[in-house]
Amino acid sequence: SLERRRCLYLHTGRACCQMMEVLLAALILVCSSVSGGSAGGYTGLPALGGIYYYQYGGAYSGFSGADGERAQQLDQRFYLLKLPIARAAMAVGGCLLVFPCVLILLGVLRVPWHFPPWLLIECALYIVIAVGIVPALYYFFHSLLSVYNSSVCKEREQLYQSKGYQGFWCSLHGAEIAAGVLGCMAAMAYLLSAGLAVRDYRRVHEQKQKPLQL
């Protein structure tokens, strides 16, 4: 009977929202890693893929002498400029991934039932995180745009375009935009979970007031 009650929690609305939050956080983590790990430009030979193409020097096949060395230097500097932003985004995505997992575990263990005030604490945490996502997204895009507007990115773009390579534009790419959209969706999911936590607190409080009907 106890195991059945624990499994029933996974069918509640709050648990469904928490599982959605886990999915969104995992996608944010993936998009952030793509933003930090990608050189943001030419993908190389279709048969080999971008990683192998860069590793074996094929991305610089159109360059010679000083231009090739300059391209490698600009790629490295551009990567180092984006790396702190990507790491910060991955850290936020990791925290957003762990938090709902912990709440799901607490729900399965029926902690909110034994300690109803926890639901109010959970609601407050949801609201704080949802509000905190807004400045986090602002910092994320503001920092990325600063990198793309830097002289390193502009020189890198011009150098690759002079050799006929496309895709080295100094603008946001799909993974970074997707991370922002997913962040907005996560904020809305947290606000919905906050409302569900308050609703469940009222229900638990009413049920504890009527033990004979249980």
Please state which of the ranges 49-58, 137-146, 198-207 shows the lowest mean pLDDT: 49-58
Task: Choose among 113, 118, 114: nearest CA to 203.
Answer: 113
**pLDDT tens, 139-180?**
999 999 999 999 999 988 888 888 777 777 888 888 899 999
For the chain, the structural domain boundaries read: 2-210
Give the three-state DSSP class for 116.
coil
Q: Is the model more confident about 39 or about 35? A: 35
Which residues fall within 8 angstroms of residue 33, CB to CB, at 6 or more apart? 86, 90
Tens of pLDDT, residue by residue over 83-106, are 899 999 999 999 999 999 999 999
Count of C-beta atoms within a 10 Å radius of residue 87? 13
Read off the pTM: 0.80
Q: Inform me whether the pLDDT recorded for 115 exceeds 50.
A: yes
Nearest alpha-carbon partner for 183 in 73, 69, 31: 31
